[in-house]
Amino acid sequence: MRIVFIGTVEFSYHCLLEVLNNRGEVVGIVTSKNQKNNSDYRDLTPVSRNNIIPIHYCKNVNDQVTINWIRDKKPDIIFCWGWSQLIKSELLSLAPMGVVGVHPALLPKNRGRHPLIWALVLGLKESGLTFFFMDEGADSGPILSQKKFKITNKDTAQTLYSKLKELAKTQIADFLPSLMAGNYETIVQNSEEANYWRKRSVKDGMIDWRMSVVAILNLIRALTKPYPGAQFSYKDSVITVWEATQYDKKTPPNIEPGKIIHVSNEGILVIKCFDGAVEITNFEPTIPFAEGEYII
């Protein structure tokens, strides 16, 4: 089974190695040069070089030059794992077995953009990793493999990313032999159960101190590294928050949200919110804050 692999992020790198470790015949790699919009970009060139696999760099996977390059490799199947563009019909129909995509959610629920971020922001207790055959819709094709994972109150975007990489290894090792033998099965998605998450905006990352403690901590956990971080404005500065915890002391109920109620000698901030207070333990830049001031 001749495989063309499309990907450009850290997850792509680990999946590609797993395909090769399980004797997948990768005849071509399609990837991109480092782009600023990929916070988890990973260069696949070393894998290409070490395994003597042809590699092609592009910005648009649907452009004719890229499609011709892939067609020249005569793939039986295409794996597209870690590429943000939708695959159009010409590429979808190029390989006889089709194109296998991946989505870090329990499809058909939670299709769309930024599934790890939204799962954490919304406080979901579980999610999953779904490999599926792509069609012209968004995350709507038949499911090839799906596994669940738990989300704890200590998870961040980074820890969930690590869970996904480990889960992907297990799933790939399970379904790749079935694909190569031609005896795999798929499950058609029930679109009546589907919803679509939208693209996250900059405003979605701004902390509103009228939110609850849990909602603020969820937002911070969702946007911590490798993502750009949750933020709030203070005077002329934009503060990026990487870590925070719930303040373990009672706060008077008549204190307005956004008031700085404590600044430690180490610079740790305690800020009042709707139903308690949040202790900001890791943020940048480090500028002077004063107790009693307001963050509005």
DSSP 256: P
pLDDT digits (tens, 9 = 90+) for 47-72: 999 999 999 999 999 999 999 999 99
Q: Which of 179, 197, 215 delimits the end of a domain?
A: 197
Helix (H, G, I), strand (E, B) or coil at 196: strand
Region 226-241 average pLDDT: 93
**What percent of the chain has a predicted confidence (pLDDT) above 70?**
99
Are residue 227 and residue 109 in the same domain, yes or no?
no
Identify whether 291 is part of a domain: no
CA dist 68 to 32, 121, 173, 197, Å?
A: 16, 41, 30, 33
Residue 286's pLDDT band, with cuts at 50, 70 and 90, is: confident
Identify whether 293 is part of a domain: no
pLDDT of residue 32: 95
Are residue 141 and residue 97 in the same domain, yes or no?
yes
pLDDT of residue 49: 97
pLDDT of residue 84: 86
pLDDT digits (tens, 9 = 90+) for 156-172: 999 999 999 999 999 99
The tokens of 79 are what?
């794996």
Identify whether 85 is part of a domain: yes
Residue 141 has pLDDT above 70, yes or no: yes
Identify whether 292 is part of a domain: no
Residue 35 has pLDDT above 80, yes or no: no
- Tell me how crowded residue 21 is: count the other CB atoms within 10 A of its CB: 12
Residue 254 has pLDDT above 70, yes or no: yes
The domain in which residue 161 lies consists of 2-197
- Mean pLDDT, all residues of the chain: 95
- Tell me how crowded residue 237 is: count the other CB atoms within 10 A of its CB: 11
Reported pTM:
0.91
